[in-house]
Chains A and B, each alone.
Chain A
Amino acid sequence: MFKFQFNSVADFFAMGIYGFYVWVAYGAFFAVILWNWWQPRMERRRIVRLLRARGERQQEQQGGNATSATQQQSAQQ
């Protein structure tokens, strides 16, 4: 059950006569898996920076007042 099916590394990459099809399919699979992991990480960084920049802008408007940005914003609504 646990016998390696190929005689050499070159043999493994050749996948019989199907190397091209197998590795393109696996490439597409890994591209999607990595994108699914990478995209949310980048998005998270983008959102955190956006929210932080907004918070700092509001603090400047208040002239360093202790009231939180949150309270001011909800009061405006």
Chain B
Amino acid sequence: MTGVARLSAALWRRAWLRAALTLSPPLAWFLVIYLASLVVMLVTAFWTVNPFTNNLQHQLSLTNFAALFDAPIPAIIARTVLIAALVTITDAVIALPFAYFMARVATPRVRNALFVAVLLPLWASYLARVYAWIVILTQDGTLDWTTQHLGLGSPNIAYTNLAMGIVFCYIWLPFMILPIYGAFERIPDSYFEASADLGARNPRTLRSVVLPLVLPGVVAGSIFTFSLTLGDFITPLLIGSGSGTNLIGNVIYDNIGLANNLPFAAALAVVPIVIMIFYLLGARALGAFEAM
């Protein structure tokens, strides 16, 4: 037997070796580039910055984690989680009927058009979409102009937490619609028939058959909307007023660079990680990962 043939025979006999060889490059990439950088960041959170030389001091200390409890950081964390939760709920409420229509009512042609409509904003730059909302929300912007002409006064909500919430809802909506659409699509038609045969009317079918089957899709979508809001720093910088609109993301951003307070930024970055760990554990209990 030639060497190549012998090798291939050996691989064929040992399935575990085949799997190990196929998986090791992506696994190595994942471990070295992805996990290692996370670990380095977590390690940095235990260091401090020398106030005189601005250099990192490689001595273990918990001061950065203690600083997380100093005002106004707890309030900023609470604000971020609250906005992320409200954005998630709003997106779910918008996405549920939309995804239902797409999956179960629309003709294939309309469904394709709606798919394009949902995905189209993702093709444009994030910044362009945020700036578009500044134009809409600012004083004498599109919104003010419209309400003034309708005689409803001028809401003038640019540079507020409400404005940030609206922009987040808009930007992350596709990430909520797609998993819910998938969940709706997977419900077999026979379930509806069976429910009707058993005498259930539409509301009862919706409550007892459809919602339980769609819930994992909603939770899967909420993982995206919640975690993306938790970490975003561009929207608070551009749409927030700076006064009472700081979020975790932009406070981390502010502490890197000129301030060079990498350890504190790393400690603060642990907060969304911990929140997401609990969130994902809860999502798993609700079966969200089967719908992704």
Q: Do A and B come from one complex?
A: no
